[in-house]
């Protein structure tokens, strides 16, 4: 039911241009054959994509970000799923406080989280370690997993679980064979959102990396604050490509609006 008038459609087109503009420019610049930022590029060249291969520090950083995203998203999912089962279906004292605590990393300014983690990790002399990064990122991404799993937990019909229990299934079997398959879209959606959040995180991470654990966003950031050259554009283009592929997959699976609102809509 498209009832938008001409004015509305023009507004929409301009808005789409505004949203896509910076991304188009980054992608365009990365194909330049020249040594400076040029848009639109005078010719199409893969020179700056080949240049990525000559910069092992960026490739190392990309691997660290990938491993960090996988580890922290998985850790937070393992912790958030049981917590969501408790918060989503039990009534107990302290439930609201618990939920508020698990969602609080969304409210505390990220720069405050960054300095708090730096202070904590450096007192225990584990600042800059990969383990420290994983633990801190797990805290930051848990709210995203929790919200999506909570939304799917509240939709589960408990009579199916009771049927399984009455037929003699143990708690663990009920969870594995009945509950988990029912909440799986929320769990997978939450994991993907957590992975992307961790992979892109800058503000907290910039405080808690050392030169050997520098992540891709931190490496890109420190490069951009010194100079913007086509190399950062070509690396950014690769980041955009990876994100878009993940996004299309999750859009198929879960719906992008539902993923981002936290499962309440639709």
Partner 1 sequence: MTASGRTTPWLLSAPALALFAALLLTPLAMTFLLSFNSFSFYGGIENTFGPENYIEVLSDLYFYEIFGRTFLIAFITTAICAVLGLPEAYILFRMKPAWRSFMLLVVLGPLLISVVVRTLGWAILLGNKGVINEFLRDIGLITSPIRMMYTSTGIVVALVHVMIPFMILAVWAALQRQDPATERAAESLGAAPLTVFMRIVLPQAMPGVLSGSLIVFSLSASAFATPAVLGGRRIKVVSTTVYDEFLNTLNWPLGAAIAMLLLVSVLTIMIAWNKLVERRYSGVFE
Residues 51-110 that bind partner 1 (CB under 8 A): 78-80, 82-83, 85-87, 90, 92, 95, 98, 101-102, 104-105, 107-110
Largest Cα span, the chain: 71
The answer to whether residues 105 and 143 touch, using CB atoms and an 8 Å cutoff, is yes
Nearer to partner 1, 47 or 255 (CB): 255
**Residues 227-266 as x/- pattern, contact with partner 1 by CB under 8 A:** -x---xx--x--xx--xx-xxx--x----xx--xx--xxx
Q: CA–CA separation, 56 vs 72, rounded Å?
A: 24
Looking at beta carbons only, is 184 or 245 nearer to partner 1?
245
Q: Shortest Cβ distance from residue 250 to partner 1 (Å)?
A: 9
Q: Which of residues 100-159 bind partner 1 (CB under 8 A)?
A: 101-102, 104-105, 107-113, 115-120, 123, 135-136, 138-139, 142
x-or-dash string of contact with partner 1, 184-213, rule CB under 8 A = ------------x--xx-xx--xx------
Query: Cβ closer to partner 1: 52 or 98?
Result: 98
225 binds partner 1 (CB under 8 A): yes
Residues contacting 239, CB < 8 A, separation 6+: 216
Q: How many residues bind partner 1 (CB under 8 A)?
A: 88
Nearer to partner 1, 123 or 167 (CB): 123
Q: Which is nearer to partner 1, 180 or 256 (CB)?
A: 256
d(C-alpha 121, C-alpha 155), whole Å: 39
CB of 236 to partner 1, least distance (A): 4
| DSSP per-residue codes, 47-103 | HHHHHHHT-HHHHHHHHHHHHHHHHHHHHHHHHHHHHHHHHHH---TTHHHHHHHHH
> In terms of Cα–Cα distance, which of 166, 229, 197, 252 is closest to 69?
197
- The reply on whether position 182 binds partner 1 by CB under 8 A is no
Considering the complex, what minimum distance in angstroms separates the CB of residue 263 from partner 1?
11
Cβ(237)–Cβ(26) under 8 Å? yes
Tell whether residue 1 is a contact of partner 1 (CB under 8 A): yes
Give the whole-angstrom CA distance, residue 85 versus residue 160. Answer: 15
Render 133-190 in DSSP notation, one character per residue. HHHHHHHHHHHHHHHHHHHHHTT--HHHHHHHHHTT--HHHHIIIIIHHHHHHHHHHH
Q: Contacts with partner 1 in 16-35 (CB under 8 A)?
A: 16, 18-23, 25-26, 29
């Amino acid at each position: 039911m498209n009832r938008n008038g001409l004015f509305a459609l023009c507004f929409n087109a301009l808005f789409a241009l505004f949203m896509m503009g910076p991304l188009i420019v980054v992608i365009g610049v990365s194909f330049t054959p020249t040594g400076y930022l040029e848009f639109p590029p005078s010719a199409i060249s893969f020179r700056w994509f080949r240049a990525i291969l000559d910069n092992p520090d960026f490739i190392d950083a990309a691997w660290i970000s990938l491993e960090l995203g996988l580890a922290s998203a998985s850790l937070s999912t393992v912790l958030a799923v049981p917590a969501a089962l408790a918060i989503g279906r039990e009534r107990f004292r302290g439930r609201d406080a618990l939920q508020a605590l698990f969602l609080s990393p969304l409210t505390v300014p990220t720069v405050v989280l960054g300095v708090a983690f730096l202070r904590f990790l450096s007192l225990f002399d584990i600042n800059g370690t990969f383990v420290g990064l994983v633990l801190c990122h797990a805290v930051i991404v848990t709210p995203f997993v929790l919200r999506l799993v909570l939304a799917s937990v509240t939709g589960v019909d408990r009579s199916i679980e009771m049927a399984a229990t009455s037929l003699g299934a143990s708690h663990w079997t009920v969870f594995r064979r009945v509950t988990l398959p029912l909440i799986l879209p929320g769990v997978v959606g939450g994991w993907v959102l957590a992975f992307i959040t961790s992979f892109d995180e800058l503000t907290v991470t910039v405080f808690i990396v050392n030169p050997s654990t520098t992540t891709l966003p931190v490496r890109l950031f420190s490069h951009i604050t010194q100079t913007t050259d086509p190399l950062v554009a070509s690396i950014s283009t690769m980041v955009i490509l990876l994100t878009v592929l993940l996004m299309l997959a999750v859009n198929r699976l879960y719906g992008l609006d539902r993923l981002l609102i936290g499962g309440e809509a639709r």
